């Protein structure tokens, strides 16, 4: 079976890591997957494209004018048909909209969409408008996959409990993850990491829903107890100026490093004392699975499937209250019982392999693919 994965990525975050792990597992299954990575004409190479090439995974770069570019999406559809693809798999609202707006009878092949989560953009913003279009276009795809049960409430009520909606948990390639954990990171970042005792880590887009402002405030309290502590925030986004202003106001500039986007997260998780995830919304974060898979203690908000995952693998701490004080209290408790926290996290690694492996994820997707292609043939 030939599967074309469609994505317009902004980095190498959860959705991109999930896609890479899925494609690698699909190749092992004997499928013929291909990633089509869309981007604006002036972009030479995206992080996803570089990482796919490093891993030897099939990928094609497709540059196009941004916006509701139906003409270009039609070209992609024609290209997919001419190259014998059996199914389109969309990852993200852009292709949900671009492909979903094309009538089924013109597509001539089934479309599945994985919803990695909504960000709840500011009302009347450009992203808010796209989310509205996404919720409308998603009705016309043939299959919807949610990465967590909690994401179901985001769907339009009419299709929320449709038989076309499945929940498939994200998975990680633990073999690749353990290899990457031993990689070297840039010298300037390693110098900061080595000097931070303890090291706190935050990973993700610098956006409001990730709650990094709350993490910075709680870190100020941690510094009162651990003067040599360091906070590393890995990611890029529109919240950078606001976060930098808060860091300056709290006089934490020497203790907080924001290196921007980097692909060496497994190596950082391997060295970190705590991964903090005070998000306001999540599905099933890949970084969470990576952290538990590498034995890094996790403290996270009770959003998405985070509580379910941490309970299932018996690891990490779920915040009872989402506030700087509550987060600081849990970070300090974890650090004071460091040996116990790390032992518990390492014991959970085996359970991650059992419940959240890339191969198990790929098997579940294959079942959905088979069902959709069989339905299309019957029609």
pLDDT for 26 equals: 98
Contact residues for 268 (Cβ-Cβ < 8 A; gap 6+): 185, 189, 193, 201, 203, 232, 234
Q: Which alpha helices (DSSP H) does 152-239 contain, by range?
A: 174-181, 187-195, 212-225
The span from the CA of 306 to the CA of 316, in Å, is 10
Task: List the chain pLDDT tens, one digit each, 379 residues.
Answer: 999 999 999 888 889 999 999 999 999 999 999 999 999 999 999 999 999 999 999 999 999 998 888 899 999 999 999 999 999 999 988 898 888 888 888 888 999 999 887 666 677 777 777 777 877 788 888 999 999 888 887 777 778 888 789 999 999 988 889 999 999 999 999 999 999 999 999 999 999 999 999 999 999 999 999 999 999 999 999 999 999 999 999 999 999 999 998 888 999 999 999 999 999 988 889 999 999 999 899 999 999 889 988 988 888 899 999 999 999 999 999 999 878 777 777 778 778 888 899 999 999 999 999 999 887 665 5
pLDDT for 119 equals: 63
pLDDT for 151 equals: 80
pLDDT for 152 equals: 83
The span from the CA of 192 to the CA of 257, in Å, is 8
**DSSP E strands: which ranges in 111-207?**
111-115, 143-146, 165-167, 199-203
Beta bridge partners of 200: 231, 274
- The structure's pTM equals 0.83
Report yes or no: 335 and 273 within 8 Å, Cβ to Cβ: yes
**DSSP string across 329-344:** HHHHHHHHTHHHHHHH
Q: What angle do CA 307, 26, 351 make, to 5 degrees?
A: 30
pLDDT for 379 equals: 53
Contact residues for 248 (Cβ-Cβ < 8 A; gap 6+): none
Q: What angle do CA 145, 299, 199 make, to 5 degrees?
A: 120
Name all domains of the chain by residue range, CATH numbers in brackets.
2-171+358-378 (3.40.50.2000), 176-355 (3.40.50.2000)
pLDDT for 135 equals: 78
The span from the CA of 208 to the CA of 258, in Å, is 16
């Amino acid at each position: 079976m030939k599967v074309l994965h469609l994505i317009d990525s902004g980095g190498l975050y959860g959705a991109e890591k999930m896609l890479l792990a899925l494609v690698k597992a699909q190749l092992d299954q004997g499928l013929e997957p291909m990633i089509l990575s869309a981007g604006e004409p002036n972009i030479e190479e995206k992080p996803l494209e570089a990482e796919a090439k490093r891993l030897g995974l099939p990928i094609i770069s497709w540059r196009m004018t941004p916006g509701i570019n139906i003409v270009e999406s039609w070209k992609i559809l024609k290209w997919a048909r001419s190259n014998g693809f059996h199914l389109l798999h969309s990852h993200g609202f852009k292709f949900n909209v671009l492909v979903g707006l094309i009538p089924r009878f013109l597509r001539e092949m089934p479309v599945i969409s994985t919803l990695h989560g909504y960000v709840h953009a500011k009302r009347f913003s450009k992203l808010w408008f796209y989310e509205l279009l996404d919720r409308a276009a998603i009705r016309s795809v043939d299959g919807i996959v949610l990465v967590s049960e909690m994401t179901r409430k985001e769907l339009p009520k009419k299709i929320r409990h449709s038989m076309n909606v499945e929940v498939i948990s994200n998975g990680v390639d633990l073999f690749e993850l353990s290899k990457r954990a031993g990689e070297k990171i840039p010298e300037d970042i390693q110098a900061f990491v080595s000097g931070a005792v303890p090291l706190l880590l935050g990973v993700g887009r610098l956006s409001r829903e990730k709650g990094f402002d709350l993490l910075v405030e709680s870190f100020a309290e941690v510094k009162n107890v651990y003067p040599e502590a360091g906070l590393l925030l890995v990611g890029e986004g529109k919240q950078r100026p606001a976060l930098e202003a808060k860091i300056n106001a709290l006089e934490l500039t020497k203790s907080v490093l924001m290196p921007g986007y980097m692909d060496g997260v497994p190596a950082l998780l391997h060295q970190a004392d705590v991964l903090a995830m005070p998000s306001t919304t999540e599905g099933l974060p890949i970084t969470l699975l990576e952290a538990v898979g590498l034995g890094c203690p996790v403290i996270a908000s009770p959003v998405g499937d985070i509580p379910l995952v941490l309970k299932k693998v018996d690891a990490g701490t779920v915040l009872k209250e989402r506030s700087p004080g509550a987060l600081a209290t849990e970070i300090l408790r974890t650090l004071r019982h460091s040996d116990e926290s790390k032992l518990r996290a390492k014991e959970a690694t085996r359970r991650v392999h059992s419940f959240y492996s890339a191969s198990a994820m790929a098997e579940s997707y294959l079942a959905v693919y088979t069902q959709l292609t069989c339905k299309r043939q019957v029609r």
